[in-house]
Amino acid sequence: MVGALAVADALMSMIGRWYSSQIGEGLIYDLRTLVFAHVQKQSIAFFTRTQTGALISRINSDVIGAQQAFTASLSGVVSNVVSLVLVGATMLILSWQITVVALILLPMFLIPTKWVGRKLQSLTRESFNLNAQMSSTMTERFNVSGAMLVTLYGQPEQEKESFRGRARKVADIGITMALLNRLFFIALTSVAAIATAFAYGIGGHLAISGTVTVGTLLAITALLARLYGPLTALSNVRIDVMTALVSFERVFEVLDLQPMVSDKPDAKVLDAKNPSIEFRGVGFHYPRAEEISLASLESTAKAETVQSGEVLKDLSFMAKSGTLTALVGPSGAGKTTISALLPRLYDVTAGSILIDGDDIRDVTLESLRNSIGVVMQDAHLFHETIAENLRYAKNDATHEEMQSACEAAQIWKLISSLPNGLETMVGERGHRLSGGEKQRLAIARLLLKSPSIVVLDEATAHLDSENEQLVQEALKDALKGRTSIVIAHRLSTVRDADQILVLDKGAIVERGTHDELVAQGGLYSDLYNRQDLAGTTNQDSSIHD
């Protein structure tokens, strides 16, 4: 009988492990993809507050921690409960008296489980937080820009010591957790040993009195080892579950975040072929930190009790179909904020933005953003090939389409001279390319997307004269026939704009053409004359024919 139980126990253990692995791996797959998809839905405000490494830690380490504990716990529950039932039932059949004595100290298993579980839960949470901080440190320092900053400012030793301190804390926590687990094991085995001694005592008494046979006593003695093993394992399961809850809590904290910008239930698809754009009484202030992120994802974030002031105030203007509207003004005037509001990276806090008469909050985000092409001051490229970066705008772009876009963007000559052509890796953040080359590649990507609306946010601000000339030539094709909003630092680049809006402190203070604004002698004229005196207007080209 004992042999049969051993075989049944091994079989159930195998089945339990297979079943729990199936569920555990499915869990990690579902959770990881769910968190990744959910994070992608968050507004840009979320990413401005969140440490990338801490977020990656939630998607990777925390999900794996939850899965491992869950898998181990589930397999333990299935096999050990079955084993406990089989052994307990057999012992009851052989001698109910010895079985009752063997189980009388069962509540004693709960005392160390409860105390150790809470302590391990607290240490696990602290360990996860420290690991997230280290992940953030590595993410920031191990990219090209971060590594360059550390090297140029001569701080590698300081960085090493800072990292060493956090790693030491994690190691100390790990040692403490190992000692607690060992203490827990000793406590459980001690309780099991005491209970076994009681069972042996009563068993011996019953054997002497003839209530049970010697054979029955020997069988029960063999079964006792199989009784306390599952009981100890089930106590460990509770510990695993309590520590796994920390992982689940951290994962679901992210899943509970609601995106600040989302589709309405009845949102319609935007059909913007030759669109006009209207800003109608738009006001905007940036949200507070607690509205957009988690303090645990910000490391040193402090609660913000004061709401940011208004960035835009009662802003109204119309950009007609196929025209170019330029936004100029001093730093901090709100120009970039306007470029962020149009594709709904943020939502306005007052007024509305309309495309062809439709409030952009009433259309789907996908159709809105598919209609808008943006080239930022610092063009972002992924650490992939040129072709893969271009296809981010159009997944099925052919070689001919990419070549055509690159020729229009004045970048094909360079690409064709590279040994691997379009299959050349651009490096982290495109660091293998110059600033002008990255901008022209970004313009080629925009041309592949072929949007009806184009937004340029100081796309030529930090380029030398030669690269600026090439980029401006590329922009002529990019803007042709499209409704365009251009944020310009160099006023000479927007002299031929259909309208120029001059912003100051979040409001439009002047509007008109270049000649009209120069003649007015206001802020625009002052800015233009200053740049003229500084020698920044020595280029005759314009980004608009």
Q: Looking at the predicted structure, is the pLDDT value of residue 318 above 80?
A: yes
Query: Domain extents for the chain?
Result: 1-256, 277-286+309-537
**Edge to edge, what strands does the sheet with 358-359 contain?**
312-319, 277-284, 350-355, 358-359
The listed range with the strongest mean pLDDT (22-36, 93-107, 348-362, 431-445) is 348-362
Q: Looking at the predicted structure, is the pLDDT value of residue 536 above 60?
A: no
Task: List alpha helices for 371-434, DSSP H.
Answer: 386-390, 399-408, 412-417
* Overall residue count recorded for the chain in this entry: 545
**Of 269, 267, 380, 286, nearest to 341 (Cα)?**
286
Q: Looking at the predicted structure, is the pLDDT value of residue 508 above 50?
A: yes
User: Does residue 139 contact residue 56 with C-beta atoms inside 8 Å?
Assistant: yes
The listed range with the strongest mean pLDDT (156-170, 193-207, 395-409, 487-501) is 395-409
pLDDT of residue 361: 94
**Of 264, 282, 31, 238, nearest to 115 (Cα)?**
238
pLDDT of residue 212: 75
pLDDT of residue 353: 96
pLDDT confidence of 148, banded at 50, 70, 90? low
Element (H, E) at 67: helix 63-94
Mean pLDDT of 142-163: 73
CA angle 47, 50, 53 (to 5 degrees): 110
pLDDT confidence of 542, banded at 50, 70, 90? very low
What angle, 0 to 180 degrees and rounded to 10, lies between the N-to-C axes of helices 2-40 and 214-255?
Answer: 0
pLDDT confidence of 388, banded at 50, 70, 90? very high
- 528 versus 466: the higher-pLDDT residue is 528
Q: Looking at the predicted structure, is the pLDDT value of residue 201 above 60?
A: yes
Q: What's the CA gap between 174 and 134, in Å, rounded?
A: 15
User: Does residue 74 contact residue 24 with C-beta atoms inside 8 Å?
Assistant: yes
Mean pLDDT of 497-518: 92
In degrees rounded to 5, what are phi and psi of residue 372? -120, 130
Q: Looking at the predicted structure, is the pLDDT value of residue 544 above 50?
A: no
pLDDT of residue 297: 67
Distance (Å) of CA 37 to CA 32, 40, 58, 221, 504: 9, 5, 13, 55, 39
In degrees rounded to 5, what are phi and psi of residue 507? -130, 155
| This prediction's pTM | 0.72
pLDDT of residue 539: 43
Burial readout 181-215 (b: 16 or more C-beta within 10 A, e: otherwise): eeebeebbeebbeebbeebbebbeebbeeeebeee
**Of 137, 24, 131, nearest to 72 (Cα)?**
24
Rg (CA), the chain: 34
pLDDT of residue 265: 92
Mean pLDDT of 130-149: 75
Burial readout 134-159 (b: 16 or more C-beta within 10 A, e: otherwise): bbbbebbbebeebeeebeeeeeeeee
Mean pLDDT of 356-374: 92
Q: Looking at the predicted structure, is the pLDDT value of residue 500 above 80?
A: yes
Mean pLDDT of 247-259: 83
The residues that bridge with 363 in the sheet, in sequence order, are: 268
pLDDT of residue 356: 92
pLDDT of residue 50: 78
Mean pLDDT of 348-377: 92
Distance (Å) of CA 465 to CA 211, 460, 490: 105, 9, 12
CA angle 469, 472, 477 (to 5 degrees): 135
pLDDT of residue 541: 39
Q: Looking at the domain covering 1-256, what would its CATH class be? A: mainly alpha
Contacts of residue 149, defined as CB under 8 A and 6 or more positions apart, other chains included, come to none
User: Does residue 2 contact residue 83 with C-beta atoms inside 8 Å?
Assistant: no
pLDDT confidence of 485, banded at 50, 70, 90? very high
Mean pLDDT of 93-107: 75
Mean pLDDT of 475-487: 83
Contacts of residue 408, defined as CB under 8 A and 6 or more positions apart, other chains included, come to 444, 447, 474, 477, 478
Give me the architecture of the 277-286+309-537 domain, per CATH.
Answer: 3-Layer(aba) Sandwich (3.40)
pLDDT of residue 267: 92
Percent of the chain at pLDDT exceeding 90: 21
* Four-residue CA torsion sign, 317, 319, 323, 327: positive
Mean pLDDT of 387-414: 90
- Give the three-class secondary structure for 490: coil
Mean pLDDT of 333-347: 91
pLDDT of residue 132: 79
User: Does residue 64 contact residue 28 with C-beta atoms inside 8 Å?
Assistant: yes
pLDDT in tens, 265-316: 999 999 888 899 999 999 998 877 666 666 666 654 444 434 456 889 999 9
**Of 86, 91, 87, nearest to 220 (Cα)?**
91
CA angle 89, 91, 96 (to 5 degrees): 100
Q: How far is CA 121 from the centre of its chain?
A: 25
pLDDT of residue 257: 83
- Give the three-class secondary structure for 511: strand
pLDDT confidence of 502, banded at 50, 70, 90? very high
Taking all residues of the chain, what is their mean pLDDT, rounded to a whole number?
Answer: 80
Percent of the chain at pLDDT exceeding 70: 82
pLDDT of residue 287: 79
**Same fold: 1-256 with 277-286+309-537:** no
* Four-residue CA torsion sign, 226, 228, 231, 233: negative
- 150 versus 44: the higher-pLDDT residue is 44
pLDDT of residue 120: 82
| 181: amino acid identity, one letter | N
**Edge to edge, what strands does the sheet with 507-512 contain?**
372-375, 453-457, 483-487, 324-328, 499-504, 507-512
Q: Which range, of 5-19, 31-45, 90-104, 431-445, averages the lowest pLDDT?
A: 5-19
